[in-house]
Structure 1
Amino acid sequence: MSADDLLGLPHHDGSEQYVDRATPRLGDVVPVRVRIPAARPERAVWVRTVRDGEPRLAPARLERSDEVERWYVADVPVHNPVTSYRFLLDEPGGYRWLDGRGVHARDVSDAGDFRLTVHDPAPRWLDDAVVYQVFPDRFARSSGHEGPPVGPLPDWALPASWSDEPIAAGRGVAQQLYGGDLGGIEARLDHLQRLGVDTLYLTPVFPGRSNHRYDATTFDHVDPLLGGDAALASLSGALHARGLRLVGDLTTNHTGAGHDWFRRARQDATSPEAQFYYWTPGEPGYVGWLEHASLPKLNYGAAGLAQRMVSGPDSVVARYLEPPVALDGWRIDVANMTGRYGADDHAHEVARAIRATMTGINPQAALVSEHFHDAAADLVVGGWHVNMNYSAFTRPAWTWLVEPGSTLPFMGMPVPVPRRDGSAMVATMREFDSAVPWSVTRHQWNMLGSHDTARMRTVTGGRDRALVAAALLFTYPGTPVVFAGDEGGLTGSTGEHARVPMPWEQIDAGGGPGWDATTFDAYRSLIALRRSSRALREGGLRWAFVEPDAVGFLRESADERVLVVLARDAWRGTVLPGHLAHAAPTTLHGGADLVVDRDGLHVPGADGPAAGVWRLA
């Protein structure tokens, strides 16, 4: 859609210009505002709320107006823990609805309504955070040794030299051991700070029978292959001394088949642990995650399991939030399946228990879920703070930026990544964003990829579109998450193939065939840009234009307006309304200078993939 079409529409989001940021309590009345362009012909504006399941309409009041726009304000009573609302626009020719997906000249379901929630949002430090994900086996060795790992190794391990290519699929994928450890990570913290990140997220550190360690054999200590308990405490202390944070990774859905609990359960059917799992008459005799016998599923209907795993000061969740590790949060693996099996559904109960345990120890600890599809129903109940945002960010970004003709599989689906235009990407983002409160959207963990996906550099087929993707990551609402190595252009065609060891010799040399210094400099610049702009960290989101090969959006706070323009291929440019900039815009990243004249704000086109960011006075 053109700028006239999009910026000529009424707008509301949950940011500070429209809704007070304070978390409401039951019984509060929250003023909500809506922006109406001056050219709109509305006769009246109403707010529609749903109270105890019943829709109600209340008139909005004209609060202020000028030659550009009119602002209306309406009162929303917070009568239920999650209160949904949208706006009714009384216009000649028929009414229209404004919800999180846009403006509709038809009736719509409540799924896209705006939402207020009494549940506390994610901690405020996520406003500013840039997260760096590390897969410990592939980041760095404390020994600095380049050949296969030395010393006693477990019987499952297939030793690999640091320069070996990871196995992409099939036999050996989970057993290929490079020997990265926690001491190696600690020795390379200067890299994180040079990049500009402030939060380290580690995939699991518990012992297992795989390189990914999602098949824990115990939660009582850290894998000796990684350096053991002392190494994790040392890493945490070093991070905190630098003002950085540490988020751990815990699988609450299952254990490994070699776990202490599971071994006791199989040895003694009368043991408490025997109730912790689901048993079946056929082979292998128990339920495994996605039918994997190596990952027996936990049964939260069992007495005592919650206390061991998620509830109270003696639980696994609590233990690592306390010193000497003092995690700043947990990412919960397979959160969408935790507590769910057949007729059993303890998922929300478990999520709330984890949050309560964490809050009791550290009220500023973050709780992040892993959920690859629609997580909306699990994000409004006071459990997970935010989700790893595959649905509303990663997947639509891939479909817009994928290399033409790519045959790369689409995140586990039996089809390649489709190449879709800008309108499809934006519609997908708006649909999934609209299903959760803004207090969730503004902190969602946005990623271009992770240890479970292909690398963005492989998706896009080269540097140029990968840098457009990076610009999207650091300017879109949410918390940016960088998978270690993306900042240097590492590649990988599957999740396992993407777990590439960091090429430290080339990094230390300032670049090489496996480390793109230009990409690293761009990441540093974009992270610094985000830190310099409150609008990019906390502002609302207003789409300015959407074309097949280029999109633009505004990030707006009370004191700043920033324009972001992204192009995946050559495009002709566009003209935005001149009132968006009352003086010459300031170029913040890439792009040519913008020109403002009587025709409007001229945004130049490009000959190929490009990204530009400007502050509009």
Structure 2
Amino acid sequence: MKCTQLLVMSSMTILSACKLDDFSEVKNYWPQAGVTYEIFVQSFNDSDGDGIGDLNGVTQKLDYVQELGANAIWFMPIMPSPSYHKYDVTDYKAIHPAYGTMEDFKNLLAEAHKRDIKIVIDLIINHSGSGHPWFEEARKGRDNPYREYYIWAQKDTIAEFINKKVITLDSDNIRQWHDPGNGEDFYYGFFIGGMPDLNYDSKKLRDEIYEIGRFWLEEVGVDGFRLDAAKHIFPDDRPLDNHEFWKEFRAKMEAIKPDVYLVGEVYDKKEIVAPFLPGLPALFNFDFHYTLLEALNTENGMLLAKKQKEILDFYLGITPNFIDATISSNHDQHRLLNELGSDADRYKQASAILLTMPGAPYLYYGEEIGMLGLKPDEHIREPFLWDVSEKDSGRTSWIKPNYTTDATVTPLAIQRNDPASYFNHYKTLISLRNTNPALAIGTLDLPEVEYPETVMAYHRVSSDQEVFVIHNLGKVEVLLDVPVGFEEKLFSLGQTTFAEGKVKLGKNASMVLGR
């Protein structure tokens, strides 16, 4: 493969691309390996000046998403809810009023599809909000027809469990049984009392859920769903029932839309996650996030590569057809730059690893401009900075930011004109991935050669391309031999040299070579 240098982003980041008759044609590998951009509408872009982001604001920024190179958008909840986060839904077939109307959303869909951008929405069906009409009816009494939509127990039967719970990765809520107000009957809510769990032993309830799915796929036209809290549809001691439900859900949705995209949130280790794959063909890889951080913070070069190889091989033992939804951060974790001690070199390398590894990577809004944030959750979901404050008409103001401000984060408008910015770095990497099939859909093969402890190295191999990727996660420069035949430099990050079969990598430097 012969390639020519196409673009010099800065002295620190160089991208080369092959001639058009080789691999430089941009391809859309979604959903198997495309890039999905996660948006919290409330903080993204305000089109009407009320301080709250809205759907028309997102429509205004679709060209930006396209410019970045993302193939799809995942929206955090957009349905009516009393909370800022909107995971306690009160109407499954409507749009939250502050976000706009259903017509606004359908217009957004149409405009996104014109740009070949798919739309995935959060579907929160493990629980409803306590203000949902179903629950308002169910709490009226044991004979109410909606009673069976939720999980109930009498006080004397659960007394010893009321204040007991095993803390899980995705919830630190101690109290799971909640009093609706009469002090006698308690309902189950895994997360909080305002989110009563739905009862999937009820066929009537399941049919309601399938109808909701049909509505969004058929009448509205979304491309798929992100399934919140997918592990908890049935209690954790009924895993087989969970697996069977999701297989049934998938069959129902595919009968409506054969190419529906389903990605599940199963927050656990691979042995627990993998059996969900037959029902949820895409699953978030939380191990990737945590291992990436550990590898960068401890300078353990091969930790992530070996872990990822182990996970992919394990999943292949369950099904040959799965989508590994990799993440470096999302709306439930501290912002990535904070996790890496605000070290710009490690931050850029984190994205270089994410976007050269196998999988279908998710990018949390604002990561591409280096947004900051620490929990509580509101402050990892702060407003996006489009421009300096006096010029930023789209900046939301529903919350006063503690971390992402003009003093701490450079707005997009300025980063666009800086070749060395985070934005141009992310844009370069996504373009690299979208123009090199080995980086998008290639296998992950680990070298047999022993490299220094700080070095992460791997091969990505597709039917018509092979690349060799190497990262130095350490602070000390390393000199390495390159496998025979890899002569074309496709990408480099940091202080690097490449000559006569040897690569020199400085602090948090990376290189991608092709042959």
Same fold? TM cut 0.5: yes
Q: In structure 1, what is the Cα distance between the partners aligned to 2:193 and 2:143? A: 22
Preserved contact between residue 587 and residue 593 of structure 1 (Cα < 8 Å): no
Offset of residue 289 of structure 1:
3.5
Task: Name 2:232's counterpart in structure 1.
Answer: 337
Preserved contact between residue 479 and residue 503 of structure 2 (Cα < 8 Å): yes
The aligned amino acid for 1:489 is G
Query: Which of 456, 472, 476 lines up with 1:551 in the alignment?
Result: 456
Matched, 1:482 2:482: no
Task: Name 1:49's counterpart in structure 2.
Answer: none
Structure 1 pair 353–298 and aligned structure 2 pair: CA distance change class (3 A): same
Offset of residue 124 of structure 1:
6.7
For each residue in 1:175-197, what CA deviation from the matched residue of structure 2 results, as whole angstroms up to 9, or x when unmatched? xxx51111111111121111111
Structure 1 pair 262–132 and aligned structure 2 pair: CA distance change class (3 A): same
Matched, 1:595 2:475: no
Task: Name 1:50's counterpart in structure 2.
Answer: none
2:311 partner SS: helix
Preserved contact between residue 45 and residue 384 of structure 2 (Cα < 8 Å): yes
Structure 1 pair 370–259 and aligned structure 2 pair: CA distance change class (3 A): same
Whichever structure has more strand as a proportion of its residues is 1
Offset of residue 530 of structure 1:
0.2
Task: Name 1:610's counterpart in structure 2.
Answer: 509
Offset of residue 577 of structure 1:
5.7
Whichever structure has more helix as a proportion of its residues is 2
Offset of residue 354 of structure 1:
2.0
- Superposed structure 1 runs of 4+ greater than 6 Å apart: 438-442
Task: Name 1:363's counterpart in structure 2.
Answer: 258
2:154 partner SS: coil
For each residue in 1:325-356, what CA deviation from the matched residue of structure 2 results, as whole angstroms up to 9, or x when unmatched? 21111110001111236558531222112211
Preserved contact between residue 423 and residue 548 of structure 1 (Cα < 8 Å): yes
Q: In structure 2, what is the Cα distance between the partners aligned to 1:549 and 1:478? A: 23
Offset of residue 515 of structure 1:
2.5
Offset of residue 440 of structure 1:
6.5
Task: Name 2:43's counterpart in structure 1.
Answer: 138
Structure 1 pair 431–464 and aligned structure 2 pair: CA distance change class (3 A): same
Q: What pairs with 1:475-514 in structure 2 (closer than 5 Å)?
A: 475-494=356-375, 495-506=377-388, 513=407, 514=409
Query: Which of 316, 321, 343 lines up with 2:217 in the alignment?
Result: 321
Task: Name 1:126's counterpart in structure 2.
Answer: 31
For each residue in 1:365-406, what CA deviation from the matched residue of structure 2 results, as whole angstroms up to 9, or x when unmatched? 111000221254554452001111111x1110011223xxxx
Offset of residue 470 of structure 1:
0.4
Q: In structure 1, what is the Cα distance between the partners aligned to 2:322 and 2:247? A: 21
User: Which structure 1 residue ranges, 5 or more long, are not aligned?
Assistant: 1-122, 150-177, 403-418
Offset of residue 578 of structure 1:
4.2
Q: In structure 2, what is the Cα distance between the partners aligned to 1:287 and 1:345? A: 23
Task: Name 1:304's counterpart in structure 2.
Answer: 204
Preserved contact between residue 585 and residue 593 of structure 1 (Cα < 8 Å): no
Q: In structure 1, what is the Cα distance between the partners aligned to 2:245 and 2:452? A: 43
Preserved contact between residue 286 and residue 296 of structure 1 (Cα < 8 Å): no
Output the TM-score relative to the length of structure 1. 0.66
CA RMSD of aligned residues (A): 2.5
Offset of residue 564 of structure 1:
1.3
Offset of residue 540 of structure 1:
0.9
Preserved contact between residue 45 and residue 53 of structure 2 (Cα < 8 Å): yes
The aligned amino acid for 1:609 is N
Task: Name 2:113's counterpart in structure 1.
Answer: 240
Structure 1 pair 274–440 and aligned structure 2 pair: CA distance change class (3 A): farther
2:315 partner SS: coil
Matched, 1:184 2:57: yes
Task: Name 1:425's counterpart in structure 2.
Answer: 304
Q: In structure 2, what is the Cα distance between the partners aligned to 1:376 and 1:344? A: 12
Q: What pairs with 1:366-381 in structure 2 (closer than 5 Å)?
A: 366-380=261-275
Q: What pairs with 1:258-297 in structure 2 (closer than 5 Å)?
A: 258-282=131-155, 283-284=178-179, 285-290=185-190, 292-297=192-197
Preserved contact between residue 202 and residue 248 of structure 1 (Cα < 8 Å): yes
Preserved contact between residue 152 and residue 188 of structure 2 (Cα < 8 Å): no
Offset of residue 489 of structure 1:
0.4
Structure 1 pair 556–341 and aligned structure 2 pair: CA distance change class (3 A): closer
The aligned amino acid for 1:290 is F
The aligned amino acid for 1:614 is L
Q: In structure 2, what is the Cα distance between the partners aligned to 1:396 and 1:426? A: 9
For each residue in 1:411-468, what CA deviation from the matched residue of structure 2 results, as whole angstroms up to 9, or x when unmatched? xxxxxxxx46234434433333332118678731111100111111111122211100
Q: In structure 1, what is the Cα distance between the partners aligned to 2:426 and 2:82? A: 35
Structure 1 pair 491–440 and aligned structure 2 pair: CA distance change class (3 A): farther
Q: In structure 2, what is the Cα distance between the partners aligned to 1:124 and 1:524? A: 16
For each residue in 1:121-150, what CA deviation from the matched residue of structure 2 results, as whole angstroms up to 9, or x when unmatched? xx973235210000111111111x3xxx4x
1:436 partner SS: helix
Output the TM-score relative to the length of structure 2. 0.78
